Amino acid sequence: MRRTYLDFEEGLRALDRARDAARAQGDAETEAQLVRETDERARRICAHLTAWQRVQMSRHVDRPFTLEYVAALCDEFVELHGDRAFGDDAAMVAGLALRGGRALAVVGHQRGRGTAEKVRRNFGMPRPEGYRKARRLFRLAAQAGLDVLTFVDTQGAFPGTESEERGIAEAIAGCIAELAGLPVPVVSVVIGEGGSGGALALAVSDALLMLEHSCLAVISPEGCASILERQRSPELIARAADSLALTAPRLFELGIADELIAEPVGGAHRDPAAAVRATGEAIDRAFAALDTLDASRLRERRDARLRAIGSAAVR
C-alpha cells in the first residue's frame, strides 16, 4: 500500500516497510513486534505535535474524505446535483442517505485524490453553486423532515473572480442562515481542515464533532501570516497556527467543539477504516441526544449554543 509521510512522520517509513516485508514473508512474530514498535513511535510523534503540525495532519492526503465516510456509514446514498441556478460543483457533494433507520440529508466538501480528480473537484474549494446546492439540500431536509449530517473538509471557498461574480458571500451566508433556522437536527463533523467561511457554511449545527487531528479556523495559518506579517516564512506560519487556536483539542477546551473523536494511533490516515467507525459511533450518539427535541426546542437550543461561543466558560 502506498503511503505518504509528512516530515515529522519520516521515522515511520522504515518501520512500515520492514513490517510489510515481514508480512509478505509470513513472519508473524517479527510483524507483531514491528507493529508494536510502529505504534509506539506514532504515539510519541502525536503526543508532541505543534499546532502547525496538526494543521498538516488535518490536510494529510491519505485521510478519508467525505465520500469514503458516506460509503462506509450509510446503507444507501443517492447523490443529487446542481443548484438549479448555474450548475453543479464537484467540490461539494450532497444527497439523501439512510443510516440504520435514520433518513439523512448529507452534505460535505470533497477533495480529490490524484491530479485529475483534484482539479475536477477544485481541491475541495467550492464555488457559489456548491453552496447553493448545499442550501437546496437543507431546504429539502426541512420539507421532508430529514436529519442533516455535514462533513467539513476544505481550506475555504474558492476565491477566484468567477466566485465573486456569482456571489460567493451571499451563497455562504445563505447556507449559514438556512442551517441556523432548520427545524430538524443538524450534526456537523470536521474530518480534516475547516477553513474560513467555506467551512462555517456547513458547521452551523446542534452538535459540532471534530476528529482529534482536525482543525477549524477563520483563516489558514498561511493566510494569517500573509496578512499580518506580509510574508509566509515557516516560522511566521507556525506562530500564526499557534495563535489561531484552531486545533480540535483547543476548540473542545473552549467549548466550541462538542466532542473530540479519537483517531487511530498515528492519525486517521494510518487506519482510515478505524477512523470512519469511530466517527459513525460519535454521529449516532449526537443524533440520539437530539431525537427528543421538537423543532421549537431545537432552534432555541441551537441559537443559545451559537450565541454562547466566545463567552462560554472554558471546559
pLDDT of residue 93 exceeding 90, the answer is yes
| Same domain for 112 and 20 | no
22 and 90 share a domain? no
In a domain, residue 225? The reply is yes
Q: Are residues 123 and 42 in the same domain?
A: no
Q: State whether 83 and 19 are in the same domain.
A: no
If one counts the domains in the chain, the total is 2
Report the percent of the chain where pLDDT is more than 70.
98
What is the pLDDT confidence band of residue 312, given thresholds at 50, 70 and 90?
Answer: low
Cβ neighbours for 189, distance < 8 A, ≥ 6 positions apart = 69, 149, 150, 151, 152, 209, 210, 211, 261, 279, 282, 283
193, part of any domain: yes
* 26 and 86 part of one domain: no
The answer on pLDDT for 313 being more than 90 is no
Residues 281 and 158 in one domain: yes
Are 33 and 96 within one domain?
Answer: no
How does strand 92-99 pair with strand 102-109? antiparallel
Residues facing residue 183 across a β-bridge: none
Same domain for 17 and 149, yes or no, is no
Q: Is a pLDDT exceeding 80 seen at residue 2?
A: no
> Is 315 inside any structural domain?
no
pTM of the model: 0.94
| Cα separation, 269 vs 65, whole angstroms | 10
Same domain, 38 and 58: no
Report, as an integer, the average pLDDT of 252-257. 92
**Full residue range of the structural domain in which residue 36 is found:** 7-48
- Do 182 and 148 contact (CB within 8 A), yes or no? yes
Give yes or no: residues 11 and 84 share one domain: no
Per-residue pLDDT tens for 256-311? 999 999 999 999 999 999 999 999 999 999 999 999 999 999 999 999 998 888 77
CATH number at residue 60: 3.90.226.10
**314 assigned to some structural domain:** no
Q: What angle do CA 20, 21, 22 make, to 5 degrees?
A: 90
Quick: pLDDT tens for 203-229.
999 999 999 999 999 999 999 999 987
Q: Phi and psi dihedrals of 105, rounded to 5?
A: -100, 120
pLDDT, the chain, mean:
94
Q: 42 and 60, same structural domain?
A: no
On whether residue 2 sits in a domain, the answer given is no
Of residues 234 and 183, which shows the higher confidence score? 183
